[in-house]
């Protein structure tokens, strides 16, 4: 499998974890729950960006198209992370309230 595809799947997996955690924490009061959701979202996205070279065992210079930076991580992984986070957050929250 190509390195870019592995990175996309890694970000989607971290997004799924963030979505499930967000669904469980949405039961908190409004102000605290919203801050917790944002904290989970951004901290797990940052963790996936920082851990991607270690998990997939590539050096930042081996990334195709240049160096592995925050901007390249944002371009390659943010959409998959966002979609998985949003879908699993809504799904988890709806399962818990029903």
22-63: pLDDT as tens digits: 888 876 666 666 777 888 899 999 999 999 889 988 887 777
9, 29, 48 from 80: Cα distances, Å: 8, 28, 12
Give the pTM: 0.86
Counting DSSP H helices and E strands in the chain, the numbers are: 3, 0
């Amino acid at each position: 499998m190509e390195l870019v595809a592995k990175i996309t799947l890694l970000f989607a997996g971290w997004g799924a974890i963030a979505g499930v955690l967000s669904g469980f924490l949405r039961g908190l009061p409004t102000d605290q729950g919203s801050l917790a959701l944002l904290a989970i979202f951004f901290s797990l996205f940052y963790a996936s960006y920082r851990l991607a070279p270690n998990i997939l065992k590539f050096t930042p210079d081996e990334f195709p198209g240049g160096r592995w930076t925050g901007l390249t991580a944002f371009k390659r992984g943010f959409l998959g992370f966002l979609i998985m986070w949003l879908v699993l957050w809504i799904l988890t929250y709806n399962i818990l309230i029903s």
